[in-house]
Structure 1
Amino acid sequence: MLQANRRSLLLAGAALLAARPALAAYPDRPIRLVVPFAPGGSYDTTGRLISEGISPQLGQPVVLENRPGAGGVVGSLSVARSQGDGYTLVLGGLTAQILVQGVNASLPFKPMEDFIPVALVAKVPLILVAAKRLGVSNAQELVRKLKAEPGRHNFSSAGNGTSGHIAAQHFVDVAQIEATHIPYRGSAAGLADLLAGRVSFLVDTPSVVGEHIRSGAVVAMGVLSDSRIPTLPDVPTMSEAGLPGVKNLEPWQAVLAPRSTPADVVARLNAAINSVLARPETRERFAAIDLTPMGGSPEQAARFFSEENDRWVPIVRAMNIVT
């Protein structure tokens, strides 16, 4: 009798499973890619290249959403708190998940616990530029002017804890000068004030400052990388400019998902992103704005993420710029 009842239950369960509609294959609706910075910067550019590239492969629109604020915290937090189903992603990386740890006394999310790296996307160089009104032509002249006029100068960034902020503050510390940091909500506003002469200097990416360097609207001081930038070959490295103490800092970008995102979904997204990065046309577009494609497996991305976390968080915390 007991065996008959058990058989009846199994048959009933099988009938229910057969009647239930099959789970839809991922993805079955649009995907949201959050860029935690304002439009106009390198993250915005990369985000559009990735979203446009993976959309046809996934068969669904990948909608880019700019959610700037607090050096990437606002947009990153919105994704960390979202459901881990593969439909909400963030284009983060060094700035939005690692550097922010060193400048936030109470970060509302835990980067190493709340996210899973999906794929490394690109590295981007940084350039120190000065306002034309300062009348300086190289990094040594900039340092001398700032030292001669202590307390009279400032520098902008796309927000507290961003790579531009950390790199510029590092320059200030190494050069032993005085300058006030003014955080903006994105690169565009700070650049506008630099062009207008209200900001003395800043550090940002070639996609933000390159055309203004070429036009002579701002003056390039140096690249914070091992080598010069192909699209701006006349701009020296900081070491060549006579400031070897200024360490290289190259922000990197990665697509991240909430930690609970299933492994098969992460693998699907990773394959799509790597396919986009391998295309000659993507590499050409990246090269035009001085981005170096990265790529690799989710495991490689996770290992790189951890290594960079261990490297940079102590350095930034030592700057004592916690907000």
Structure 2
Amino acid sequence: MALKLLVIDTDTGIDDAQAIMMALATPSVQILGITCCFGNTHVDNVCQNVLRVLSVCGCPEIPVFRGAKVPLVRPIEGFKDHFGTDGLGDVLEDKDPQWEEKIQRENAASALIRLVADNPKQVSLVALGPLTNLALAIRLDPTFVLNLKELFIMGGNMEGKGNMTVCGEFNFVMDPESAYVVLEEYLGPTHIASWEYCCSNHLTWEFFEELMSQDTPAGRFMRTISSKCWAYSKAAVLKGDVYFGKGFVPYDSYAMAACIDSSVVTESIECPVRVELQGALCRGMMAVDQNNMLKKNHQASVMKTCDQNKFRMLLLASVREKNRK
């Protein structure tokens, strides 16, 4: 059976790392490249984080490309430190002084265009951070949207609930213009794992303990980088913080799982969507237009429920040595 060709665009924080490891552990997937964008942290930290994940998983040959360090239009307003200042919990001390030599010279937007053009209608793109690199690729080369097979996005929201602003989800709020460009101009199959989808399909903390107890290089790595972040999340849940649902929510892994195995998603809404660019409260919010009042021809698939057993199995495979490539 032919391998599924995958490109990952990421702002690698802890949940991105888990999602990348999920793809690396899937035998049916071939990762053509990983493009990096600002988001959870500065793009230079993102590049180093991706290299760390690839090293831990024994896949240093996968090319890594540095991309956007600021949003498409407006200046960046600062980084959220939920995953620490470096994106991986500020717990790693093994900085690689030669990391820049391991990053490809080609920029991320150009790499996206080339990788998709070299494999027309074969590449699935999983976007785990702000969509700046994708928007740049779309604007640089109109054939990019024609050549891409399908797009999976972790971002946006269904119900106007935000985790960055009152009504906006983090990835979209960090660069609303880019999210708007991507969702207006890419007309191929578009699958969205929204903020509410991730939270409503939360996993138990008992499963989290099982996931983090795996005594493998990948398992120990995830346990280390998660040590501060998820302790905070647990405390927030106990205090009734709605942003973290009622359990363990590995956000970006929901989009990756949907790409790897479409049967993980058991229910979705098919309708037009649009990103709001105006307003003090709603800038960056994704409007889900179930009555097609926008009169758009393109519909996105907005995920609603998932098969949690299949999702758990993919997560466990990401940290189990016997399932690694």
Given the two structures, how large is their TM-score scaled by the length of structure 2?
A: 0.29
> Which of the two has greater helix per residue?
1
Larger radius of gyration: 1
User: Whose relative contact order is higher, 1 or 2, with alpha carbons under 8 Å and at least 6 apart?
Assistant: 1
